[in-house]
Structure 1
């Protein structure tokens, strides 16, 4: 199991420094969110060029606002800039964003993702001829020398996991804990990949992490930071499967040894990359970052 970091772009200077630090520490990967701030693929192409050994990923780019040919064009360009170290994580987002913010339909998201993946993976080869019920992608791209990035999907429910295992390279989760990984996520996506004749899929699992001397205060902070995830149906379903009442219960909190043990236990479930979403006060973040670097170093 590789060790990575899961974060977001606060500023260009901040993410440049964080990526350089992660590469210097031998951390395997750095995963960046995509919301309403700076465009993550543009940022990766601009600041992650000279960081050998560090895989950079999006976690995740929402699919509805970007036609699969346009996203393929952008991802191929970014991957060319970073020397083939990009992993393209995509996801369906949520109805309240797709419909309320973008004015687009969220009808039958599994069908949409299936067609999107078929069109996207074709477009990433730079020659696509696809026509589905809701998406059409026909044309040739011209980006010489661009490596094809691996494609991961933010797949949570059984149907989306089956589609992902059949058509993509793996999944990147959020608000998914060890019980759900063991009972749903990993067996479902692996079975679908095997049935499709594909290799074992990647399982990238980000979780909030805090090394602390005050677990109660850290848990309270996690509850405050994460509370809105409990109101989103897809994440609520994952919390219910895990037996958690609140999103803050997903956070990995404790002293360095207990946090390390909890992270290491995920490898036995089949997780291929753990990505720490580091939180806490300044000292806690430094202690957590030190632990993540130590866990990564042990794998070099």
Structure 2
């Protein structure tokens, strides 16, 4: 299984020490680095900046939101960065949710699957350069045909020849239908809050999509699944769980409206409906610390690898036998070597684990201060 490094969302500014962490990840043999995008920092600019300080690690948008830019603009950004980086780009795309799409981008959210299918078709037309780009819509009609237009639009072909016509496209998806869509039309899947309990269902949804996959798409054997999975090696399980609880509370409680939160839906499917209700109510009421505290350890253990190395390795086996091909971890630079060693079966002394626990504790105290 390959390893990826997730930068995560920015807060007041770029994450502290992020360039050091990315360069450390590359030196340790990590396969990819992934940026995030919500309604603050964008997904492409950081990859260009940090990618210029690396030479091998692949550069993935995790994820670029469909509504943030038109399909042709996304295609232009990817082909530009692919040239600059020497062919290292992975275009991760996702529909986001109604609060962001309609509240931040001022666009309608309904029919995300149809929009995704149309979007990806246009992106690929740009890269293939076989003909001027056209689309019958209805979501991204090219050229524009609205009555309020000039009527002068014409189909155009990209002036720049892409370095690669087959830049990989990974699709972020959580529900059954869009997971199947990823297997049908994309080169990879970006799941989140996927549990070991849900692996068989995930495989079944992917199989539905593979059955519809066009012959000209890359063989299913080349299909990638890059899962963002918290990995916290630590002598104490509860302390490790405390580092993951705020992340779960953020997504389940704050990433979506009440009754329209895909991450809440994901943990509901795991059998945590009452827990999800409590987390969401607390978070939306502004009681974020209490929302995090309401996340049970057993839920953390379903969607993360936490605790002593031997525990992590025992639980890792199930992931290694699953559809997941890349494990995307998010951690400070000082923890990356230990995480790699734990996941790849390297030696880890009790002293090293203790030093890591101390470093985590010092970092958390500094953040609180």
TM bin (shorter chain): 0.7 to 0.9
Shift of 1:195: 2.8
Are the aligned partners of 1:45 and 1:79 in contact in 2 as well (CA < 8 Å)? no
Instruction: Trace 1:20-59 onto structure 2 (pairs within 5 A).
Output: 20-49=23-52, 51-59=54-62
Please give the alpha-carbon distance, in whole angstroms, between the structure 2 residues aligned to 1:131 and 1:297.
52
2:135 aligned with 1:130, yes or no? yes
Distance 1:294 1:29, change over 3 A: farther
By relative contact order (CA 8 Å, sep 6+), the higher-ranking structure is: 1
| 1:68-94 deviation digits (Å, cap 9, x = unpaired) | 000100111011111111111010111
Instruction: Trace 1:91-240 onto structure 2 (pairs within 5 A).
Output: 91-126=94-129, 127-137=132-142, 138-148=155-165, 149-183=167-201, 185-196=202-213, 197=215, 198=217, 199-200=219-220, 201-231=223-253, 232=256, 233-240=261-268
Please give the alpha-carbon distance, in whole angstroms, between the structure 2 residues aligned to 1:220 and 1:32.
24
Distance 1:257 1:297, change over 3 A: closer
More deviation, 136-145/24-33:
136-145
Are the aligned partners of 2:91 and 2:170 in contact in 1 as well (CA < 8 Å)? yes
Match of 2:313 among 255, 260, 270: 260
Please give the alpha-carbon distance, in whole angstroms, between the structure 1 residues aligned to 2:269 and 2:135.
36
TM-score normalised by the chain length of structure 1: 0.87
Shift of 1:225: 3.3
Shift of 1:153: 0.7
| 1:171-225 deviation digits (Å, cap 9, x = unpaired) | 1111111222321x23322331243234222111111221112221332332233
Distance 1:85 1:294, change over 3 A: farther
Shift of 1:251: 2.9
Number of equivalent positions: 292
2:338 aligned with 1:290, yes or no? yes
Please give the alpha-carbon distance, in whole angstroms, between the structure 2 residues aligned to 1:217 and 1:172.
28
Match of 1:242 among 270, 279, 282: 270
More deviation, 117-126/22-31:
117-126
Unmatched runs of 5 consecutive residues or more in structure 1: 280-284
Distance 1:108 1:37, change over 3 A: same
Distance 1:296 1:194, change over 3 A: farther
Shift of 1:145: 4.6
| 1:282 counterpart residue number | none
| 2:2 counterpart residue number | 2
Please give the alpha-carbon distance, in whole angstroms, between the structure 1 residues aligned to 2:35 and 2:319.
21
Shift of 1:34: 1.5
Are the aligned partners of 2:193 and 2:266 in contact in 1 as well (CA < 8 Å)? yes
Distance 1:22 1:220, change over 3 A: closer
| 1:111-134 deviation digits (Å, cap 9, x = unpaired) | 111211222222232452222222
Shift of 1:32: 1.6
Please give the alpha-carbon distance, in whole angstroms, between the structure 2 residues aligned to 1:89 and 1:215.
32
Please give the alpha-carbon distance, in whole angstroms, between the structure 2 residues aligned to 1:276 and 1:265.
17
Query: Cα RMSD between the aligned structures?
Result: 2.4
Distance 1:89 1:38, change over 3 A: same
Are the aligned partners of 1:176 and 1:242 in contact in 2 as well (CA < 8 Å)? no
Are the aligned partners of 1:16 and 1:48 in contact in 2 as well (CA < 8 Å)? no
Are the aligned partners of 2:180 and 2:206 in contact in 1 as well (CA < 8 Å)? yes
Please give the alpha-carbon distance, in whole angstroms, between the structure 1 residues aligned to 2:94 and 2:308.
33
Answer 1 or 2: which has greater strand percent. 1
